[in-house]
Amino acid sequence: MNIFDSTLSLADAPAVVPCRICGNPTRADQRNRYCVDCYGANGKFKYAIYARNRKARKVANGGTHTAQDVRDQYDRQKGKCFYCHIKVGDKYHVDHVVPVLLGGSDGPENLVIACIRCNAKKSYKHPMDFAGILL
């Protein structure tokens, strides 16, 4: 392709998002949004530590949910994103309203259905901080 081709646009380029572990910029099309340092050939150890710590936080924060809890929440929200209210269909994320990192539980009372875009944008922000972004 020619760099001067008029059909190319910035919208075609992958979005840059922060790595979930270290916060360094990474491409959004990478698996699970981890940078090469944290998940690449040398980073699997960092990822294992991150995953183990996340699991420990979930246990410490309490709460568990089932697939039925997720289906019930989907029905309560009428198949719409909790944040932007668009229909999500079968492509949605189950989001923790208060992130596990900030002390939120893994129980059904802390789960909502979110579109992929809103969940990625919210990341691990507190709900009130994210509400300021939505306005």
Residue 97: the pLDDT is 92
CB 48 within 8 A of CB 21: no
Spell out the domains of the chain, with CATH numbers in brackets: 1-61 (no CATH), 63-135 (1.10.30.50)
CA angle 120, 90, 21 (to 5 degrees): 25
Span 93-118, average pLDDT: 91
Residue 77: the pLDDT is 96
Residue 59: the pLDDT is 82
Q: Which stretches does DSSP call E strand in the chain?
A: 16-18, 25-27, 93-96, 111-114
Q: Considering the chain, what is the average pLDDT of its residues?
A: 80
pLDDT at 4 over 60: no
Whether the CA torsion 56, 61, 65, 70 is positive or negative: it is negative
Q: Is the pTM of this model over 0.75?
A: no
Residue 123: the pLDDT is 86
Question: Length of the chain, please?
Answer: 135
Span 21-40, average pLDDT: 68
Six-digit token pair at 70?
A: 């997720």
Provide the β-strand partners of residue 17: 26
pLDDT at 14 over 70: no
Give me the long-range contacts of 65-68 (CB less than 8 A, separation at least 24).
65/106, 65/107, 65/108, 65/111
CB 115 within 8 A of CB 86: yes
Q: What confidence tens digit (pLDDT) does each residue in 35-92 have?
A: 777 766 556 667 777 788 888 888 888 888 899 999 999 999 999 999 999 999 999 9
Grade residue 3 by pLDDT with cuts at 50, 70 and 90: very low
